Amino acid sequence: MTPAALAHLRRVDPVMRALIRAHAPWGGVRRAKSPFEMLVRAVAHQQLHGRAAETILARMIALFPGRRFPGPEELLAVSPRALRRAGFSRAKVAALRDIAAKTVAGVVPATRVITRLDDAAVVERLTQVRGVGRWTVEMLLMFRFGRPDVLPVDDFGVRAGFRAAYGRRAMPTPRQLLAYGERWRPHRTTAAWYLWRAAEAARPR
């Protein structure tokens, strides 16, 4: 989130101007060591409370003494049964092994490669991995790679925030949100952040 992004959104959209005035700015990007680690952690957190996911990840990491986080070759060398004992479901074990295999094969690119790819190319590459959908990649682009122009139109919170902030009677479709969001380019990541804040503010307390 930059001053230029805030200035642009204030200029092109009075509703965004009000959201920016009402809510604190985004705290910034949290970077992980590698796309491999990001995807493993993202899959671990799917459909689980954060604390439960972190507990399972800690058990997995404990399989590799002396390592902050295993590499893809190391993860492939561990038996699926060991990963199951750490707490992963069969589907997640299959996804983790596919992440590792596709990292070794180069389908999941290194960070230095991702920095040279546009957003669409990153989505195309990473969604080839089992268990990794477009939404997961968009979250990584926004919160780990700091890409400034990502609008996750399938995200329920973003759509709910738009409905609340813009006083719409019905939830916008992804296509409607995508069309409206053209005015926010090239700072749609910041716009999405404020739509999440609008959704939170609209929840019954």
Residue 49 has pLDDT above 80, yes or no: yes
- Give me the domains of the chain, ranges plus CATH numbers: 3-28+150-202 (1.10.1670.40), 35-143 (1.10.340.30)
Query: Catalytic annotation on 155?
Result: yes
At 137 the pLDDT is: 93
At 168 the pLDDT is: 92
Task: Grade residue 69 by pLDDT with cuts at 50, 70 and 90.
Answer: very high
**Mean of the per-residue pLDDT values of the chain:** 92
Please, which residues have CB within 8 angstroms of residue 141's CB and are 6 or more apart in sequence? 119, 122, 123, 147, 150
Please, which residues have CB within 8 angstroms of residue 33's CB and are 6 or more apart in sequence? 68, 69
Give residue for tokens 């479901």: 89
The one catalytic residue among 13, 98, 149, 155: 155
At 205 the pLDDT is: 67
At 202 the pLDDT is: 83
Burial profile 182-195: b = 16 or more Cβ within 10 angstroms, e = fewer: eebeebbbbbbbbb
The whole-model pTM stands at 0.84
CA 73/CA 203 separation, integer angstroms: 45
At 103 the pLDDT is: 95
| Inter-residue contact 88 to 44 (CB < 8 Å) | yes
Please, which residues have CB within 8 angstroms of residue 172's CB and are 6 or more apart in sequence? 159, 162, 163, 180
- Name the token pair of 121: 């190319």
Q: Which of 194, 189, 197, 191 is nearest to 139 (CA)?
A: 189
Task: Grade residue 32 by pLDDT with cuts at 50, 70 and 90.
Answer: low
Question: What are the CA-CA distances from residue 141 to residues 12, 26, 200 (Å)?
Answer: 24, 15, 22
Task: Grade residue 171 by pLDDT with cuts at 50, 70 and 90.
Answer: very high
Please, which residues have CB within 8 angstroms of residue 7's CB and are 6 or more apart in sequence? none
Span 110-119, mean pLDDT?
A: 90
